[in-house]
Structure 1
Amino acid sequence: MLMDKYFEAMKNVLIDIEKTQKEKIVEVSEEIAKRLSKGAAWHIMDTGHMLMFEGVGRTGGMMALKPIKITCELDNPVRYRPSESKGAVGYDSILGFADFVIGRSNILPGDILMVGSVSGYKHFPIDLALKCNAIGCLTVAITTVEYSSKLKSEHPSGKRLFEACKYYIDNCSNYGDTIVDVEGFEQKICPASGISAGYVMWAIQSTVVEKLLEMGLKPSVYISNHMPNASKINGQAIDNYTKYGY
């Protein structure tokens, strides 16, 4: 069954993460914990997959991790008229958009910026990482190195995201980000990057919690709203996060 092929392939991706990324996850997490202990903020910006949904605000997750949410709406309700396709233009290809984001966000020197991009070649996430490097932020990419390595960067520097950030964690997916071959079908199916990125994210969060505890600090962590006394417990944790930043 294709389902069994998927299960096996996905397990292999997760095993690859454990075999190849563990030391780097520990190194990244140690630096994140040190910065949080000194008042830094921890930001995450994802270019369209699951990290800001899976990694933020979940039971068992750290309150310190906060998303950079970007919205851009355009309302132009004219009557239908046939026209040639203009192509899709996303913010990740707009020159100078990183300056706008840094200027309008709460990113400060010394903070932590985690950037998620599977392909890692678009202008905006690379530019954001480079400009955050320049102001002393810790930049961490979660990306697919095999995929990104085969793509040409859209940034003038020629760098891909894994080359632009101080650290990168490889989610260990592949070129094309699909892992199941289907006999008689011309393309693979089932992406790996969503689940593998979430796997990396929770590995990092668990290690940051561990490092803060080793420093004698109590990290603020959500419990499920359905647990007994959840409002009180989460409220106390929010107060702790607001006071200390971790």
Structure 2
Amino acid sequence: MTLSWISAAQKVLEEIHRTQETAIEQAAVVAARSIARDGVVYAFGTGHSRMPVEEIFPRYGSFPGFHPIVELSMTFHNQVVGANGQRQAMFIERVEGLADQILANFQLRPHDSLMVFSVSGLNAVPIEMAIGARKAGIPVIAVTSLAETHAGPVRHPSGTRLADHGDVVIDLCSPVGDALCHVDGVAEPIGPVSTFTAVAIVNEIKVRSARLLAADGLVPPVITSSRLVGDERSSELFEAAYLDFARRAAGTLRGAGGEVGDAGARGR
């Protein structure tokens, strides 16, 4: 019996610290380069892999340049059954061609990059998001569980997994099946860990990216609690961060006719 999820999860986090140092630093370099060049780091995940996407921005202690993409059809789990239920969400994330429709909304530019989260790395939408980004010539950071992805058969017609399309691959180090704890009298393990490790990886990349950007004085406005900087300064930082995000976002969007947003059209 595994008595403590916290103890078990701490061991997984230590494994990430021991084995993923180089990949995380490489991801931070990619992210900082995009942000410094006035581009964005798109972040995408389906299912519970949307959680690190929501963690990346906007949060206290985060800054624009990271651009979350979350499709409600594949991330809204509260209903469980009925309309917008879990069955539909799990089906949709395996639909081939959907990623192309998502990416058609965005102008992928050479100074942008994409971070894709998928524990299994086997579903069509995350894989095809990475494929589409690489076809557009932008670097891909794949965050996945290597144990999980190699435990199951390849499902995508390309015969590939998400990890096959990453310029940088970060291992979540979560075990096959994700759950950590075995309880007496219960056959199945309990207590998933991949969300915990994904959020840890996101924040490590965020901090390292800030360190690289700070060396050149290029850190965007950081969203900060009023309890640290006072109400007025906190409001100023929030507004500045939102405006910076909006400015960058304007250069990423495509209209129905394929035209680029105003900022992108100006060659910002």
TM bin, normalised by shorter chain, reads 0.7 to 0.9
Note the alpha carbon deviations across 1:184-237, whole angstroms, 9 max, x for none.
Answer: 210111000011100000000000000111223233221125652211232234
Stretch moving more, 28-37 or 124-133: 28-37
Structural RMSD (CA) = 2.3
Task: Name the TM-score, length of structure 1 as normaliser.
Answer: 0.85
After superposition, residues 27-106 of structure 1 pair within 5 angstroms as 27-49=26-48, 50-72=51-73, 88=88, 90-106=91-107
* Cα distance, 1:112–1:188 mapped onto 2, change above 3 Å: same
The CA distance in 2 between the partners of 1:237 and 1:71, in whole Å, is: 24
Note the alpha carbon deviations across 1:51-89, whole angstroms, 9 max, x for none.
Answer: 12222211001222121122349xxxxxxxxxxxxx646
Q: Is the 8 Å Cα contact of residues 110 and 135 (structure 1) preserved in structure 2?
A: no
Residue correspondences, number = 231
Stretch moving more, 15-24 or 151-160: 151-160
Instruction: Read off the aligned partner of 2:170 and give its amino acid letter.
Output: I
Q: Is the 8 Å Cα contact of residues 163 and 169 (structure 2) preserved in structure 1?
A: yes
Match of 1:190 in 2: 191
The CA distance in 2 between the partners of 1:6 and 1:167, in whole Å, is: 29
1:236 correspondence with 2:240 = yes
User: Tell me, which stretches of 5 or more residues in structure 2 are unaligned?
Assistant: 75-86, 250-268
Instruction: Read off the aligned partner of 1:220 and give its amino acid letter.
Output: P
* Cα distance, 1:118–1:225 mapped onto 2, change above 3 Å: farther
> Taking every aligned residue pair, what percent have the same amino acid on both sides?
27
Instruction: Read off the aligned partner of 1:182 and give its amino acid letter.
Output: V
The CA distance in 1 between the partners of 2:107 and 2:22, in whole Å, is: 30
* Cα distance, 1:122–1:5 mapped onto 2, change above 3 Å: same
The CA distance in 2 between the partners of 1:27 and 1:9, in whole Å, is: 27
User: Tell me, which stretches of 5 or more residues in structure 1 are unaligned?
Assistant: 74-86
The CA distance in 2 between the partners of 1:187 and 1:223, in whole Å, is: 42
* Distance apart, 1:31 and its partner CA: 2.0
The CA distance in 2 between the partners of 1:16 and 1:231, in whole Å, is: 39
Match of 1:155 in 2: 156
Stretch moving more, 186-195 or 223-232: 223-232
* Cα distance, 1:72–1:175 mapped onto 2, change above 3 Å: closer
Note the alpha carbon deviations across 1:123-151, whole angstroms, 9 max, x for none.
Answer: 11111101110111111111111011112
The CA distance in 1 between the partners of 2:71 and 2:226, in whole Å, is: 27
Match of 1:76 in 2: none
The CA distance in 2 between the partners of 1:52 and 1:124, in whole Å, is: 15
The CA distance in 2 between the partners of 1:94 and 1:44, in whole Å, is: 19
Runs ≥4 in structure 1, deviation > 6 angstroms? none
Match of 1:84 in 2: none
Instruction: Read off the aligned partner of 2:39 and give its amino acid letter.
Output: A
Note the alpha carbon deviations across 1:20-65, whole angstroms, 9 max, x for none.
Answer: 1112111121122122212221111111221122222110012221
* Distance apart, 1:120 and its partner CA: 0.8
